Structure 1
Amino acid sequence: MTRLTTEAAGVFVIAVTPFHPDGRIDEESCDRMVDFYLEAGATGLTVLGMMGEAPKLTVEESRDVVARILARVDGRVPVVVGVSAPGFAQIQTLTKMVMDLGAAGVMVAPPANLRTDDQIVTYYTQVAELIGDVPFVLQDFPLVTGVQMAPRVVAQIVNDLPTCVCLKHEDWPGLEKISYLRRDGVLNRRISILCGNGGLFLPEEMARNADGAMTGFAYPEMMVAVVEHYTKGDVDRGLDLFNAYLPLARFEQQPGMGLAIRKYTLAKRGIIAHDALRRPGASLSAQSRAEVDALIERQEKRLKELG
C-alpha cells in the first residue's frame, strides 16, 4: 500500500460525492469521475473532504464510497481521506477503516472550539498519538473552521510530529504563510504544501514554492496545467491558461453555492449523471445555470484563441 509522503506534489483533486436525485449514492458516476480525474492528470485524489458532503454520509456510506473509489483507482495514485470529526472516537474509527481499505493517508481539520495556539498544538499532538504511524494532512482552512493557525504554530506541529507530511494550505490571504514555512531554518524537514480555495491563487502559490493543489474545480485540467507549467518554468503559459479559466473558477467560489455550481458543471460535462446535492443542500436557479453556461462558452472561446 502506498503511503502519503512529504514528496506529494501535483494536483490532488477533491472529489465530489455523486448522488442520484433521490439522495442515493451514484456508484457508476463515482467510477466515471475517478476515470476523468486520472485522465485529467491528477496525481492524487482526496475524498470525503468538506466539498465531498462527508457530514451527510453515514459511516457505512463513507466506507462504501472510499472502497469504491479505491477500487477504481487501483493503486495508480495515492488517495487521501478526510476524517475530521468532533470527537477522537470517530477520527480513530474512520482512520482505521479507510487505511484498512487502502488509503494513503488521512486529512484532519481542527474543530471550531480551539482558541489558543497551545490548544491547537495539543490537539494535533493527540491526533498523531491516536492514529499512530498513519501519515496525515494538516488542513488549515480558517474561513470554514474558524480556527486561525499562525505560521509558527503550523511549523511547531510539523517539527514535533513526523507523521504530519503535508499542509493543505487554505488560508486566505495566506501567501506569506507559505513563504514563512519555506524559509531556511523554520522547518526541520521539507514537507508538502498543497493549496486549496478552488485554485484561485494557484499561480501565486506556486511562485511561493507550493508543491501543487489539493482542491476541487470542475476543470481540474486547468490546475494540472498551471502546476506543470510553473514547475518547468513556463510561467507565462501557466498564467495564460489560468486566466482563461479564472471567471468560472471565481464564480464557483461563491459561499453556499460553490458545490452546486461545480456539480452542475461536472454533470454538464457528462462526468457525473446528476448535479444533485444531498439534502440539506443548495440548488441552482435557472438564471445561475445560464450564467455558468455563458462562462463556459466564453472559456472555450478563450482556450481556442490560446491554442
Structure 2
Amino acid sequence: MAHPDALTGAWPVAPTPFHDDGSLDLEGMRRVLDCIVDQDIDGVCILANFSEQFLISDAERETLTRLCLEHLAGRLPAIVTISHYATPIVVERAKLARDLGAIGVMIMPPYHGALLKGTAEQTYEQFARVSDVGIPIMIQDAPLSGVDLPVPLLVRMAQEIPMVQHFKIECPGAATKLRALIAQGGDAIVSPLDGEEGITMLADLDAGATGTMCSAMISELIREVVTAHTSGDRDRAVDLYTRILPAVNHENRQGGFRSAKAAMKEGGVIASDFCRHPVPPLPPETRAELLGLLRPLDPISLRWGL
C-alpha cells in the first residue's frame, strides 16, 4: 500500500517556451502552465531537464521560478528542479522554492560534465544540507548525471535525511531498482516514481511506482494509465498504455523535450517551439511523424489554444 503522503498520478515537466529570437516567452510560460492545469493532472515540475534547464541562465531561472509559482497560485502543487554541482547554489535555490510555495524540490546528485562527479558521501552531504532548508526532496536518479546511486545509498538517505522523501527512478532497469528500493526502504520511501516520458511506466507501476513524472505532451492520457493501474484494473491500464505507447516511444527515442513543444505549438499553446543552440530544431519529417501519432489521441496540448 502506498504511503499516505505519496505523490501519485502524473506529474508532467513544464516545457520552457522561447521566442524565435531565443528570448524567454514569459506569456507563453503562463499559457503552458494554464494548459497543464487544464490537463487535470496531479502536479507539475518546473526547470527540469525537459524544461531545458541546462540552457537557461541563473537570472532566467530565478525569473521562471517566481513566475511559475506565482502564476500557478496553488492551482497545482509544484516541484522545482534545483540541481547544481555547487552545494551552496543548490541550497539557495531550495530556499527560493520553499519561500515561493513549492511543495518540493528535485535534485540530481552533484556532477559537472563527464568527470566531476560527487562521491556517495558528497552526494549524501549535499542532500543533507538541502534538507536543513525544510522542503521535501525528490532524488532524481537519471543517467544524465553519470553518478551511481545504488539502492543502499538511496535507502540510507531516505532513512537518515528527514526531507528525502520522493524518488524519480529513470535509470536502466528502473522497475528492478524501484522494487528493491521499496522492499529495502519501507515507509521511508514516500513516493517512488518513474520518468523517461513513461516509456517503462507499465513495468514500473507493476514494481510499485505510485506515479510518473512525464512530459506535458499527453499528461492526461498518461494519468489515465496510472489511475487504472492504481485502482487494480491492470487490464484497462494495459489497454490504455498500448494505445499511447507509439507516441510515448516516439517522444522518448526521437524528439525528446522538443516533442511537447511541437505539440503545444501545433495546439496554439505557444507561438514558437524554438530550442536554444546547440539543440537543433525538430526535423520536419520527425515532427510530422509525431503529430500523426498524436492526432488520433486528441490530447489537450494539441487543441488547447485553437
Instruction: Report which stretch shifted further, 187-196 or 40-49.
Output: 187-196
User: Aligned partners of 2:40, 2:204: CA distance in 1, in Å?
Assistant: 19
Which residue number corresponds to residue 89 of structure 2?
A: 90
Alignment check: 8 A CA contact 1:199 1:217 kept: no
Distance in 2 of aligned mates of 1:186 and 1:285? 44
Deviation per CA, 1:115-135: give whole Å up to 9, x if none.
Answer: 7xxx22442233322451221
**Once the 2 structures are TM-superposed, how far is the Cα of residue 272 of structure 1 from its aligned partner?**
2.1
Residue in structure 2 matched with residue 284 of structure 1 by the alignment: 282
| 1:184-232 Cα deviation digits (max 9, x unpaired) | x543534111110101111221121111011214111121111111111
Q: Unaligned stretches of 5+ in structure 1?
A: 301-307
State the match for 2:63 in structure 1. 64
In the alignment, the residues of structure 2 paired with residue 86 and residue 190 of structure 1 have an alpha-carbon distance, to the nearest angstrom, of 25
Q: Give the C-alpha shift of residue 146 in structure 1.
A: 1.1
User: What's the counterpart of residue 150 of structure 1?
Assistant: 150
1:91-149 deviation digits (Å, cap 9, x = unpaired): 1222222222222221110133337xxx22442233322451221111101x2111222
Q: Match of 1:137?
A: 138
Please state whether the residue corresponding to 1:182 is helix, strand or coil: helix
* Corresponding residue number in structure 2 for 1:251: 250
Shift of the 85–225 alpha-carbon distance from structure 1 to 2, 3 Å rule, reads same
**Structure 2 equivalent of residue 126 of structure 1:** 126
Unaligned runs of 5+ in 2: 299-306
Equivalence for 1:78? 77
Cα deviation 1:25-82 (Å, max 9, x = unaligned): 1122222211221221221111111111112222221122122211221112221111
How far 1:157 moved relative to its partner?
1.3
CA spacing shift, 1:189–1:93, aligned 2, 3 Å = closer
Aligned partner of 2:262 in structure 1 is 264
Cα contact 2:158–2:185 (8 A) shared by 1: no
Between 281-290 and 126-135, the greater mean CA deviation after superposition = 126-135
Partner of 1:303: none
CA shift at 1:259, angstroms?
1.5
Alignment of 1:1-307 (within 5 A): 6-112=5-111, 113-114=116-117, 119-132=119-132, 133-141=134-142, 143-183=143-183, 186-187=185-186, 189-254=188-253, 257-297=255-295, 299=297
Measure, in 2, the Cα distance between the counterparts of 1:41 and 1:195: 19
Q: Percent identity?
A: 27
Counterparts of 1:191 and 1:131 in 2: how far apart (Å)? 15
Give the letter aligned to residue 145 of structure 2: T
285-294 or 167-176: bigger deviation: 285-294
Q: Does the CA contact (< 8 Å) of 2:13 and 2:51 recur in 1?
A: yes
The letter for the 1-side match of 2:10 is: V
CA drift of 1:299 comes to 4.5
Distance 1:187 1:102, change over 3 A: same
Q: Separation in 1 of the partners of 2:219 and 2:94? A: 27
CA contact (8 A) 2:94 2:130 kept: no
Counterpart secondary structure, 2:253: coil
